[in-house]
């Protein structure tokens, strides 16, 4: 048992607020306490060369510490019997924290001790006269506003408010600011941050690497209403517009260079203030439940886009950052202090926030505006399948966390209705009608008004709501997290699949009793299976986008897709199409009986025909890649690792592990895969030239399918950019081109993220 601790001595820590107490050594030896007489002046405290400047009485405890340590047994930290509050339960977590705290390499708060300048907060800077709170010049306003915009974007890209937006001292307390333009702008930025933070938190589609919502105790202008802030910004905007008009050149008048410069600078401030007001108004519009507010936001985004060219052309008018003595990427200029909040950061590894450049800021806002315009378009969609496709396509652009969150909160509003209007249950029913036309949802079917059947379908639809809302929410996460979550949601869809089959069987039994010529087999089950397959396909394909697979793994991933998942998907789509046609025939026969007039039949475009065609193209692309990889392996062009701690079977099972929870389609285990893909079952077994020929036919088939699609979209064109060159390369390889070379080929995923262009080296 170590001896009781000696009386507390004034042992100097880092001089940082809140660092002394948590870092008190609790091993029953000593207490390390920060006792700073005047903490505001103490960034240099804790630096050995400057210790003599402090009035603290230093006591050497080294010998006492070593003697106390000798009392401890090997591996012993502390006996829990110690009663003192500070000494109980000193475990591994506390030990690691004690080691990390105050270490400049491990504690972000220690960075402040490493600079030679005095770090002042807003009030101190005002007293010191290093910051202006009134009569700011136009270049100062422009420079501060531009840097604030850069900090705002850096925050949206995943850094903390303390290291970005709140490095601007004006944002700390706008009440102190007397300059009307600066005050209105500071409040506007605070409101934008507050609403953006609220939206991102509500959508809940961010991870720690995406966004940091902590405000570190700063006031987010909650005492001022949104309407008041937009009014203040409008007043400044109007004032600047009057100055712009008064300095405008008149015809036949000789232009004074100073007046022209003032005109350009007034226009620059006007553009920035208006942009802030418009952006704030857009975010406020997204907080409303009415869909009309989204249309209003779309119009405002057009205004914001028009202001960007004026902002870009006037970047040079703002004051520029001075040279920073610590890092060259954080602005040091009037109103900004990158180290002012270092004491607020937790004792963690210092995370360096690189503030983006002003030129990049304009480009970022242009892309953000385009993304928000796209978000506004979702309210025009009425079908659940179209909405799911919209979310998938939007996610493929890797949008920022704010636009992803706005899309989520626009889709499902606070009252849990889609776009604030439609019940999710109704959306599910419409999706079922459009995909598989189940008789139970047809008004002409006897089951439509059957209470027992109605209860069955309503219960099933209610159970569909949660998995489908979760699926849509998953598409709001970043691409890497999406893949992880898709693997987990398969369990929910597997349960839904089981329920769908049971409900189908019950409804089929009811239907046969009243309408023996109609069936209700595999209607709901087909629909759930379709979504199951889509999730599984997306899970595997996203591995290529995220570069998770090694080259030697490509062949079994593409095999699983071509021979199994896409085959099942096309079968499912064909069954759904057949079900639709059967239901349409019954409807036509019922109408014929009522009307004696002959109607000319128009050739109707099948709703699922395009998706069936695209699935055929994808299947051919996957089959082509599978045969290409097998042929490369035969020719010794695929480098395989020397398996020591794992094997191909272990890797295979790991890649397809999430599919084990799904019963339909049943998972293909490794031994089944080896048996099904074994070329020795053919007589004679095909050699690499034959496989290259087979692969070329698959690429050619995909090319022909895609070229016959009317009105091809971007995805069709992207696949064609891969299918055409791969067809040519396979033809060359089949002819013996570079047969002797053992150099592995290159796989270029720049044209398409799932299918590479094969390049021979």
Q: Residue 24's pLDDT is what? A: 35
Is 50 exceeded by the pLDDT of residue 18? no
Q: Residue 150's pLDDT is what? A: 96
Reduce the secondary structure of 418-458 to three states and give it as a string.
Answer: ECCCECHHHHHHHHHHHHHCCHHHCCCCCCCCCHHHHHHHH
127-131, 153-157, 549-553, 618-622: least confidently modelled range: 127-131
For range 117-131, the mean pLDDT: 89
Cα gap 321→237, rounded to integer Å:
25
Is 70 exceeded by the pLDDT of residue 71? yes
Is 50 exceeded by the pLDDT of residue 86? no
Q: How confident is the model at residue 399 (pLDDT cuts 50, 70, 90)?
A: very high
Is 50 exceeded by the pLDDT of residue 649? yes
The predicted-structure confidence for 548-572, as pLDDT tens digits, reads as follows 999 999 999 999 999 999 999 999 9
Which residue has better confidence, 743 or 228?
228
* Spatial CA neighbour of 501 closest among 657, 664, 714: 664
Q: Residue 371's pLDDT is what? A: 96
DSSP state of 748: E
Q: What percent of the chain has pLDDT over 90?
A: 62
34-48, 391-405, 441-455: least confidently modelled range: 34-48
The predicted-structure confidence for 297-345, as pLDDT tens digits, reads as follows 999 999 999 999 999 999 999 998 875 444 444 557 889 988 888 878 7
Is 80 exceeded by the pLDDT of residue 12? no
Element (H, E) at 503: helix 479-514
For range 399-425, the mean pLDDT: 90
Q: Report yes or no: 119 and 339 within 8 Å, Cβ to Cβ.
A: yes
Which residue has better confidence, 643 or 752?
752
DSSP per residue, 535-586? HHHHHHHHHHHTT-S-GGGHHHHHHIIIIIIHHHHHHHHHHHHHHHHHHHHH
Is 80 exceeded by the pLDDT of residue 622? yes
Q: Residue 230's pLDDT is what? A: 97
Angle among Cα 409, 413, 415 to the nearest 5 degrees reads 150
Residues listed for the chain: 761
- 332 phi, psi to nearest 5 deg: -115, 100
Q: What is the pTM for the complete model shown?
A: 0.83
Is 60 exceeded by the pLDDT of residue 153? yes
508-517, 535-544, 607-616, 747-756: least confidently modelled range: 508-517
106-120, 160-174, 222-236, 325-339: least confidently modelled range: 106-120
Q: Residue 307's pLDDT is what? A: 97
Q: Residue 149's pLDDT is what? A: 97
What rounded mean pLDDT belongs to the chain? 85
For range 742-750, the mean pLDDT: 92
Q: Residue 581's pLDDT is what? A: 87
Angle among Cα 533, 538, 543 to the nearest 5 degrees reads 135
Q: How confident is the model at residue 131 (pLDDT cuts 50, 70, 90)?
A: very high
For range 627-652, the mean pLDDT: 91
For range 663-674, the mean pLDDT: 94
| Cα distance between the two ends of the chain | 70
Query: Helix, strand or coil for residue 662?
Result: coil
- 418 phi, psi to nearest 5 deg: -70, 125
Q: How confident is the model at residue 94 (pLDDT cuts 50, 70, 90)?
A: low
Q: Is 628 left (phi over 0), alpha (psi -120 to 50) or beta?
A: alpha
């Amino acid at each position: 048992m170590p001896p009781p601790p000696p009386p507390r001595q004034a042992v100097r820590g880092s001089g940082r607020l809140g660092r002394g107490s948590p870092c008190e050594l609790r091993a029953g030896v000593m207490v390390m306490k920060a006792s700073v007489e005047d903490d505001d002046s103490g960034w240099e405290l804790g630096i050995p060369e400057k210790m003599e400047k402090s009035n603290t009485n230093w006591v050497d405890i080294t010998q006492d510490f070593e003697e106390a340590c000798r009392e401890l047994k090997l591996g012993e930290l502390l006996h829990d019997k110690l009663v003192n509050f500070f000494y109980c339960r000193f475990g591994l977590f506390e030990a690691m924290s004690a080691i990390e705290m105050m270490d400049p390499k491990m504690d972000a708060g220690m960075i402040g001790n490493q600079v030679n300048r005095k770090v002042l907060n807003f009030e101190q800077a005002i007293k010191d006269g290093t910051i202006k709170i009134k009569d700011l010049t136009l270049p100062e306003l422009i420079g501060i506003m531009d840097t604030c915009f850069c900090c705002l974007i850096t925050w949206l890209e995943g850094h903390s408010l303390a290291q970005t937006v709140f490095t601007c001292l004006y944002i700390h307390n706008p009440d102190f600011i007397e300059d009307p333009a600066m005050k209105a702008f500071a409040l506007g930025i605070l409101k934008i941050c507050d609403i953006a933070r609220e939206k991102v938190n509500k959508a809940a589609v961010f991870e720690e690497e995406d966004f940091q919502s902590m405000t570190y105790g700063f006031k987010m202008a909650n005492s001022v209403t949104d309407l008041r802030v937009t009014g203040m910004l409008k007043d400044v905007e109007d004032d600047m517009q009057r100055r712009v008009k008064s300095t405008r050149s008149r015809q036949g008048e000789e232009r004074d260079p100073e007046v022209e410069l003032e005109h350009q600078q007034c226009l620059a401030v006007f553009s920035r203030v208006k942009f802030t007001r418009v952006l704030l108004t857009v975010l406020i519009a997204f907080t409303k439940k009415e869909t009309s507010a989204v249309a209003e936001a779309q119009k405002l985004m057009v205004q914001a886009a028009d202001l960007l060219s004026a902002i870009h052309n006037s970047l040079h008018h703002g004051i520029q950052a001075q040279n920073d003595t610590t890092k060259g990427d954080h602005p040091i200029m009037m109103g900004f202090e990158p180290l002012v909040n270092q004491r607020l950061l937790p004792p963690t590894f210092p995370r360096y926030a690189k503030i983006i450049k002003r030129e990049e800021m304009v480009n970022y806002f242009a892309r953000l505006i385009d993304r928000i315009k796209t978000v506004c378009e979702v309210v025009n969609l009425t079908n659940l399948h179209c909405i799911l496709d919209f979310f998938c396509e939007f996610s493929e652009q890797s949008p920022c966390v704010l636009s992803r969150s706005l899309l989520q909160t626009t889709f499902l509003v606070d009252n849990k209705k889609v776009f604030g209007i439609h019940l999710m249950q109704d959306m599910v029913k419409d999706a079922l009608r459009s995909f598989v036309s189940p008789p139970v949802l047809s008004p002409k079917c006897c089951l439509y008004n059957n209470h027992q059947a109605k209860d069955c379908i309503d219960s099933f639809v209610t159970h569909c709501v949660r998995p489908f809302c979760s699926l849509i929410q998953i598409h709001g996460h970043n691409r890497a997290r999406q893949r992880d979550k898709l693997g987990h949601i398969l369990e929910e869809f597997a349960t839904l699949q089981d329920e769908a089959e049971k409900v189908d069987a019950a409804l089929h039994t009811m239907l046969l009793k009243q309408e023996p010529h109609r069936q209700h087999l595999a209607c709901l089950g087909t629909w759930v299976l379709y979504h199951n397959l889509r999730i599984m396909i997306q899970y595997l394909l996203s591995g290529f986008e995220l570069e998770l697979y090694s080259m030697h793994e490509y062949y079994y991933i593409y095999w699983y897709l071509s021979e199994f998942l896409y085959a099942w998907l096309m079968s499912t789509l064909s069954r759904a199409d057949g079900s639709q046609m059967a239901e349409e025939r019954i409807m036509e026969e019922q109408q014929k009986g009522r009307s004696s007039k002959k109607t000319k039949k128009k050739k109707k475009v099948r709703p699922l025909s395009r998706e069936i065609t695209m699935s055929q193209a994808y299947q051919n692309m996957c089959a082509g890649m599978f045969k290409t990889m097998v042929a490369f392996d035969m020719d010794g062009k695929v480098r395989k690792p020397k398996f020591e701690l794992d094997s191909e079977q272990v890797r295979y099972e790991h890649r397809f592990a999430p599919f084990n929870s799904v019963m339909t389609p049943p998972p293909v285990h490794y031994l089944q895969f080896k048996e099904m893909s074994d070329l020795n079952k053919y007589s004679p077994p095909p050699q690499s030239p034959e496989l290259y020929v087979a692969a070329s036919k698959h690429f050619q088939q995909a090319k022909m399918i895609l070229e016959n699609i009317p009105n091809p979209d971007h995805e069709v064109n992207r696949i064609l950019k891969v299918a055409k060159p791969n067809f040519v390369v396979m033809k060359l390889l089949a002819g013996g081109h570079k047969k002797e070379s053992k150099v592995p080929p290159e796989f270029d995923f720049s044209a398409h993220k799932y299918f590479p262009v094969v390049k021979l080296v």
